[in-house]
Amino acid sequence: FDFQRHTGEFEAREAANAASAGEPVAQAPVGERLQQALIRIQPIVGERHIVTDAGGVEERGRVLIPAAGRAVAYVYPGSAEEVQQLVRVADELAIPLWPASKGRNWGYGAASPVRDGAIVLVLERLNRIIEVHEELAYAVIEPGVTYRQFNAYLKQHHPDLWCDTTDGTPEGSVIGNALEKGIGETPYGDHFGNLCGMEVVLPTGELVRTGGGPANLATRHTYKWGTGPFLDGMFAQSNLGIVTRAGIWLMPRPEAFCSFTFALEREADFPVIIDRLRDLALKDIIQTKVHLINDFAFLSLVSQYPFELRNGATRLSRDTIRRLAAGFGVTSWSFITGLYGTREEVRLKQAAIRRAFAPYGKLTFITDDSLRRLQGLSATLERMRQRPRLRAISEFVTRRVLRTSPEILAVAPHSHALLQGIPSDFFVGHAYFKAPSRPATDVHPARDQCGLIWFAPIAPMTGRHVGEVIALCEPLFERRGFEIYVALMMINPRSMVVLMGIFYRKDDPDETARATALYGELSDATLVAGYQQYRATVGLMPQILDTAPEFKAAAGRIKSALDPNNILAPGRYGL
């Protein structure tokens, strides 16, 4: 171990951390305690599973956001028992531990702590799919299980069950995302809502199973509320325990499925679209999370950022964005979603969708068969495009007959797959929007120093509320010299996440400073107007609950009771 690094530097940091949090400074020097902790951790997990060298720590701590806390070491336990032992060592020596499952949320903070000086526990070696119950449609998994792994496993062994996914990296953790209240794509996209029955290591090392029943509880993974208080909620967006296993409900593969895209014709009709989506979701005709994105968000998927069109400004003008988008056949707002059920149900739902949306823009239904035909056709058009004499015909058919573009055609297979819970690398590519180039494979934007901050307020799902949040934020983006990226995600039929992305270049100090300032301003403005955030980056976590002092104090009392030495993820969501 590189013990020298862990002495004066970290003592100073811990003192600064404690002072800023108004806590007393611990008695024994932290460098010494850290040395002891690492010595005692080594035989628990094995030297191979500890990273303390500066290069390794830096690589693992990469994020897309401007700043995050720095870890002193990354430790990879191999079982829940090892996690318990590590927690006991940390508790005894008062060393902060920060748990992560895979730590791939680059635009929120990835595997980096809120405060400097924590040992980060990455649970990726706990990657067993312990059980899949076909009849009751649930699985029990460990936190290291990724979307890619889970999906491939179910395809092979239980093809009639679907798991959900996100449009983030397929290497993300199913449980990690659920614990952050992440949102997915299929009707099972409320990830935390679909967890049932957890095994948790508390900050003092005890292992508890939620559900309040006997050890052999038959309904552990089939009945969420259990007997007595419902404790599961305490472990979402919190620092009250380390989840080492959880039950997750799975979706029975429907008899029929189709995805569809909608492109809004007139921007003025935007509020009507939100109200129609809500109406159809409340009637259970639309069951997915629906991603409704603006033209700038669409551009980030299909093109590289045109720096040359800024005309000396730090942002593209609205007109330029509109013109660029039109060139790809992209309108002001568009969304994708899916329809599920029996063949009869899907047919009836399609009719309802046509009635609701056809008057407002272009609807395209995509089935497995039509997607195959579309892919065949777009391959033919692409071949024609390569031949000078046929190029014009290819363009005419694409733009005028199909009323689309090759770039939009390239998105369809990915969205069609996502809506069936099949993960894809494609959508993470948008993080490369302002980077010099977008890699074809191995998408890992944090490694490439792309800058992206997610800001995610939630609005009640009415055209008026969603419009108000956007109207509140748009001038702030403008003032700080950024274009506004909006992706609306229906979190349930009554609420929408108004996800906004601040894309910036990490190698540009001025842009980084403006992005940081904008993020703070957006948070302040929306909180004042009464809109909370669905999740926060580690940079914003310390103050995110300041507007809810009674709530924060109550949660703080639970924290003190469960974690008297404040060792588990201190500062997470301000606790």
With CB under 6 A as the contact rule, the residue among 69, 96, 117, 143 that binds ligand ADP is: 143
User: Torsions phi, psi of 428, nearest 5?
Assistant: -65, -20
Nearer to ligand ADP, 2 or 58 (CB): 58
Per-residue contact flags (x/-) with ligand ADP for residues 233 to 272, judged by CB under 6 A = ---------xx-----------------------------
Residue 257 structure tokens: 């499925």
Residue 121 structure tokens: 């526990």
Pairing mode of beta strands 71-75, 118-122: parallel
- CA 160-163-164 angle, to 5 degrees, is 140
With CB under 6 A as the contact rule, which of the stretches 102-110, 153-161, 475-483, 553-561 interacts with ligand ADP? Answer: 102-110
Q: What is the dihedral of CA 77, 79, 84, 86, to 10 degrees?
A: -20
Nearer to ligand ADP, 246 or 301 (CB): 246
Based on the shown chain and the rule CB under 6 A, indicate whether residue 101 belongs to the binding site for ligand ADP.
yes
Say how many residues make up the chain: 575
Site for ligand ADP in 65-94 (CB under 6 A): none
User: 252: alpha, beta or left, given left = phi > 0 and alpha = psi -120 to 50?
Assistant: beta
Nearer to ligand ADP, 381 or 538 (CB): 538
Interhelix angle 80-93/30-45, nearest 10 degrees: 160
CA distance 123 to 187: 27
Q: Report in angstroms how near the CB of residue 244 gets to ligand ADP at its nearest.
A: 7
Nearer to ligand ADP, 99 or 413 (CB): 99
Q: Tell me, what DSSP letter sits at residue 401?
A: I
CA distance 152 to 423: 10
CA separation (Å) from 559 to 118, 199, 210? 18, 18, 17
Based on the shown chain and the rule CB under 6 A, indicate whether residue 277 belongs to the binding site for ligand ADP.
no
With CB under 6 A as the contact rule, the residue among 52, 151, 177, 331 that binds ligand ADP is: 177
Based on the shown chain and the rule CB under 6 A, indicate whether residue 334 belongs to the binding site for ligand ADP.
no
Residue of this chain nearest to ligand ADP (CB atom): 176
With CB under 6 A as the contact rule, the residue among 103, 170, 197, 571 that binds ligand ADP is: 103
Nearer to ligand ADP, 144 or 329 (CB): 144
CB atoms within 10 A of CB 262: 23
Nearer to ligand ADP, 107 or 429 (CB): 107
Give long-range contacts, CB 8 A cutoff, 24+ apart: 316-320. 316/483
* Closest to 247 measured CA to CA, from 168, 140, 121: 140
* Closest to 121 measured CA to CA, from 25, 65, 10, 37: 37
With CB under 6 A as the contact rule, the residue among 66, 77, 172, 574 that binds ligand ADP is: 172
Based on the shown chain and the rule CB under 6 A, indicate whether residue 537 belongs to the binding site for ligand ADP.
no
Residue 247 structure tokens: 């039950």
Q: Report in angstroms how near the CB of residue 122 gets to ligand ADP at its nearest.
A: 8
Distance of CA 24 to the CA centre of its chain: 35
Based on the shown chain and the rule CB under 6 A, indicate whether residue 175 belongs to the binding site for ligand ADP.
yes
User: Torsions phi, psi of 476, nearest 5?
Assistant: -70, -40
With CB under 6 A as the contact rule, which of the stretches 28-36, 167-175, 253-261, 503-511 interacts with ligand ADP? Answer: 167-175
With CB under 6 A as the contact rule, the residue among 75, 114, 179, 567 that binds ligand ADP is: 179
Size of the site for ligand ADP (CB under 6 A): 19
Nearer to ligand ADP, 314 or 543 (CB): 543
Based on the shown chain and the rule CB under 6 A, indicate whether residue 123 belongs to the binding site for ligand ADP.
yes
With CB under 6 A as the contact rule, which of the stretches 52-60, 73-81, 98-106, 420-428 interacts with ligand ADP? Answer: 98-106
Nearer to ligand ADP, 407 or 448 (CB): 448
How big, in percent rounded to 5, are the helix, strand and coil portions of the chain?
Answer: 40, 20, 40
CA distance 396 to 386: 14
Q: Report in angstroms how near the CB of residue 572 gets to ligand ADP at its nearest.
A: 6
Q: Report in angstroms how near the CB of residue 451 gets to ligand ADP at its nearest.
A: 18
Nearer to ligand ADP, 181 or 224 (CB): 181
- For binding to ligand ADP (CB under 6 A), which residues are involved? 99-105, 123, 143, 172-173, 175-177, 179-180, 242-243, 569
